Amino acid sequence: EKHAIWWIFIALAVLVCSFFPSIIDRIGRYLGIHYPPIFLLVIAACLILIKLLSLNISISDNEVKIKELAQRLAIMEKKLTDIKKDEDTSLK
């Protein structure tokens, strides 16, 4: 869902820019850019960097969660083997 909203926003922005290309020219002139279409490349590069940063943050969070789950699983397996050993010794 997080990624879908991101791509919908990008698609809408591209759609608006394609229907009204003069918007880019006006913004470029306002910012003092001599070749306004380069403004699109700068914005695209910034958006890609932001997206990469958010993906890296998400990956880091997932790695932490995976590590915690692996540790919990190891603890549960240890408890299970201990219970089985206790049952085996009590049956003898």
pLDDT, one tens digit per residue, over 35-81 is 888 888 888 899 899 989 988 999 999 999 999 999 999 999 999 99
Question: What's the one-letter identity of residue 85?
Answer: K
Distance CA 10, CA 47 (A): 9
Displacement of CA 7 from its chain's centroid (Å): 12
| H helix intervals, 1-92 | 2-19, 22-31, 37-91
Query: Which letter does DSSP use for residue 34 in this model?
Result: S
**What is the pLDDT at residue 80?**
95
Say if pTM beats, i.e. exceeds, 0.95: no
Higher model confidence: residue 6 or residue 12? 12
**What is the pLDDT at residue 64?**
97
